[in-house]
Amino acid sequence: MLLQAWQVDLTEGRYLLSGASDGSAAVYDIQHTTDYDGGLIAKHKNLFVVDKQHNHGHKFAISTAIWYPIDTGLFITGSFDHHVKVWDTNMIQVVMDFKMPGKVYGTAMSSIATAHMLIATGSADVQVRLCDIASGAFTHTLSGHRDGVMSLEWSTSSEWILMTGGCDGAIRFWDIRRAGCFCVLDQSRSQLGRRPPFSQGTPKRVLEDFIASTVSTGKSSFEKTPVSQKRMPVGNGKKQLTTSRKNQNVSGGPSTQRLHPGMSSSHNRATAHYGAVTGLRATSDGMYLLSSGSDSRLRLWDIESGCNTLVNFEAMRLQTSKAIQLAAFQDSSLVFVPSMASVKAYDMWSGTNLGTFRGHYELVNCCYFNLQDQELYTGSNDRQILVWSPSIPAVTVMEEDDKKGQTLSTDRDNWSD
């Protein structure tokens, strides 16, 4: 069981959904520890797991697992068995099944959408398909990539803008209300751009302290247990679904490639990486986009101009054959990148490597930064999910001990002969 992808729910920041190479998906309560290893490392058992033995489980590896953004009543999984499935979390049953033309590499839903309930899906096919949970059908097919689509990211500032990265090395921007993509990023089109002063974000000393204290601490881990029908205290994500649409199996139709009006054919052939685009991450303000590629490059793009900002991220080694998940601080001052068997932390604006997280024994596939608890989650081929959290400052511990000592000393003085 190799951990492929995961996401912590966006509503409570409490439930971690994971997908694995054995076709299983599991949910963990990250706020409730079930055991301790040696009294130091916290362990978490899953609330439930669905695997190949489930009537509607995936037959092959799960490549993507995401929560429904509104609540935890639904979650979505995509697999190499060519299916994207929508699950009812409370019933642990499939309520909708979308049949794709090839292996599913990635799925994404907009966290700010109010006018649609679309799942953007990338697969081994050249077309991006938008699955509508409300209707149970494909509403769009986006044509433009010349190879499979490995990574997808919705804009954090507009519910209509979708960004996709393909195995053809291209990153395309789509306005789903219009035909054709409106921008193709070109690594040779660059500008220094306007970068916010570091003082506007998290102070550099604070970041360095976070990295130093986190890298040196112990880690908690998650482990897989047999199937359990335990229910979670979660929302009712299917409130917008009709019972007549349950357990549907739909497929998308063909679509001809279109160019956005005014886009030249040479611009349409531009590439963002020399090789597949393996990861995309938009900053919370919607102004910048991070991309990783099989060329072992991390690039920062100005979304408004579509230019490469030329930030030189220090040496890293990235996987070449599968998608990876990037993570970032809320203020976009720090980015975490899976780099072979470790995770590297970079200053987003200078590209400086501020630290390396080492604890896994095999390739790291995904990472996620929990804003609420200030913790970093990393998943690897070694079947472990590790949680990295800053240690309690030694000064704080000493101050507490001093206060206790002063109290005891005062008591002895008052009652001694």
3-state secondary structure 20-61: ECCCCEEEEECCCCCEEECCCEEEEEEEEEECCCCCCCCCCC
Angstrom CA distances, 230 to 136, 236, 391, stand at 28, 16, 33
Burial class (CB in 10 A: 0-12, 13-18, 19+), 53: exposed
- The b/e string for 325-355 (b: 16+ C-beta within 10 A; e otherwise) is bbbbbeebbbbbbbbebbbbbbbbbebebbb
Per DSSP, the residues of 140-174 read EEE---SS-EEEEEE-SS-TTEEEEEETTS-EEEE
Contact 88, 73 (CB under 8 A): yes
Closest by Cα among 289, 281, 331, 327 to 311: 289
Say what the pLDDT of residue 326 is: 94
Token code pair at residue 182:
């409106």
- The b/e string for 389-415 (b: 16+ C-beta within 10 A; e otherwise) is bbeeeeeeeeeeeeeeeeeeeeeeeee
Residue 297: other Cβ atoms inside 10 A? 17
Residue 128: other Cβ atoms inside 10 A? 26
Token code pair at residue 103:
């292996």
Say what the pLDDT of residue 38 is: 63
SS3 content of the chain, % helix, strand, coil (to 5): 10, 40, 50
The residues near 266 (Cβ < 8 Å, ≥ 6 apart) are none
Contact 232, 90 (CB under 8 A): yes
Task: Report how far residue 121's alpha carbon sits from residue 350's, in angstroms, rounded to the nearest whole number.
Answer: 33
Task: Report how far residue 176's alpha carbon sits from residue 76's, in angstroms, rounded to the nearest whole number.
Answer: 21
- Could you give phi then psi for residue 149, rounded to 5 degrees? -110, 115
What's the CATH number of domain 3-415, 1.10.1740.10, 2.60.40.10, 2.40.160.20, 2.130.10.10?
2.130.10.10
Strand 219-223 versus strand 41-50 pairing type? parallel
Say what the pLDDT of residue 383 is: 85
Task: Report how far residue 396's alpha carbon sits from residue 398's, in angstroms, rounded to the nearest whole number.
Answer: 5
Contact 270, 186 (CB under 8 A): yes
pLDDT in tens for each of the 417 residues of the chain?
A: 677 888 999 888 899 999 999 999 999 998 888 777 666 677 888 899 999 999 999 999 999 999 999 999 999 999 999 999 999 999 999 999 999 999 999 999 999 999 999 999 999 999 999 999 999 999 989 999 999 999 999 999 999 999 999 999 999 999 999 989 999 999 999 876 555 444 445 545 555 666 666 655 445 566 544 444 444 445 555 444 444 344 444 444 444 344 454 455 666 789 999 999 999 999 999 999 999 999 999 999 999 999 999 999 998 999 888 899 999 987 778 999 999 999 999 999 999 999 999 999 999 999 999 888 888 999 999 888 898 988 765 444 455 555 555 554 444 444 444
Contact 225, 34 (CB under 8 A): no
pTM of structure: 0.81
What 8-state DSSP symbol labels residue 198?
G
Task: Report how far residue 364's alpha carbon sits from residue 360's, in angstroms, rounded to the nearest whole number.
Answer: 7
Residue 7 pairs with which residues in a beta bridge?
Answer: 17
What 8-state DSSP symbol labels residue 98?
E
CA angle, residues 82, 318, 22, in degrees to nearest 5: 35
Closest by Cα among 138, 146, 389 to 253: 138
* Spans of all domains in the chain: 3-415
Say what the pLDDT of residue 45 is: 87
